[in-house]
Amino acid sequence: MVIPRKKRVIPDGLWIKCEGCSGLIYRKAMVERFYVCPECDYHFRIPAWERIRITLDEGSFQEFWPDMEPADPLDFKGYKEKVQTEQKRTGLKDAALVGTGTIHNRKIVFGTTDSNFIMGSMGSVVGEKIARAAALAREKRLPLVIISGSGGGARMHEGMFSLMQMAKTSAALFSLREANGIFISVLTDPTMGGVMASYASLGDIIVAEPGALIGFAGPRVIEQTIKKTLPEGFQTAEFLLEHGFLDMIVSRQDMRRELSRLIDFMVGPSDEAEVKVANGAEQIPNVTTQETAGPFSTKEDRGKDQNETTENQI
């Protein structure tokens, strides 16, 4: 008598295909590595709340202006319905989250955009939140860290209102710099269009994740415009680092530690670290600090397809 063997059922979602090496990855192993492929180091795109979880100290993030959501100033056909659909799908009001949090107990103003929400395109809400974050960093004299993941550029559904966010965010960051504020810009895959042409490229230090797609328009659009063949991989983080546009490329697993190190280098060790040194509990390496009243003193004080990213651009 032959007893049929019971077929083993493998739960859905247990394995995931890597977009970098096309290998099958055990999902749990990928999550434990902050959504990075253990075989080829491919960095998967992750949502904004997950970005906050792996970057900031646990439970430290306090969101600001959570109820801000986009209007429809042009009465663009289907825009209201699209926004409502994206809100239900992602759980976000718009493509940006900003607030305060801590990294290794150092308080900062933190912002991140989510490419899952209309490709992370910058409309009036995203621009307003970034500008307010810069103003908050100046007011509270805190370092500003923004992690960008916006493949859609300026959001075409809002027309000129969207394009003006490029000027507004740039002006807000200029004001922060005038107050000797610190701004670290982190570019992830993808960072394109109006986001890249404004606040994302204005950091005092510009960091990128490995393999990130970074640029303004897609390569096909550029080639058709300038009538020239472009070098392979010219919109990758590695190419831009080689040609001086980026300061460093940092793997996601090291990002939290590296951001903390950069802030300590630019601002000086935190009060907690200084206490540890005074008590002989820890040695802090020498860091360069400003000779002003602080990093925020005023003048008076001191002185997947690359082409799809153009879908929502103007």
263 and 277 both lie in a single domain:
yes
116 and 29 both lie in a single domain:
no
271 and 261 both lie in a single domain:
yes
Q: Is residue 304 part of a domain?
A: yes
22 and 89 both lie in a single domain:
no
pLDDT in tens, 238-255: 999 999 999 999 999 999
pLDDT in tens, 211-230: 999 999 888 889 889 998 88
Residue 53 CB partners (closer than 8 Å, separation 6+) = none
Lowest mean pLDDT among 30-34, 201-205, 269-273, 303-307: 303-307
Comparing 41 with 2, the larger pLDDT belongs to 41
pLDDT in tens, 143-176: 999 999 988 789 999 999 999 999 999 999 999 9
The edge-to-edge listing of strands for the beta sheet with 183-187 is: 62-63, 96-103, 106-113, 144-148, 183-187, 205-208, 248-249
Beta-ladder partners of 43: 36
How many domains are there within the chain?
A: 2
Rounded to whole angstroms, how far apart are CA atoms 168 and 189?
A: 24
| pLDDT confidence of residue 313 | 43
Q: Is residue 100 part of a domain?
A: yes
36 and 136 both lie in a single domain:
no
261 and 299 both lie in a single domain:
yes
51 and 40 both lie in a single domain:
no
- Its domain, for residue 22, covers 14-44
Q: Is residue 257 part of a domain?
A: yes
Q: Is residue 9 part of a domain?
A: no
pLDDT in tens, 295-313: 444 444 444 344 444 444 4
pLDDT at 31 over 60: yes
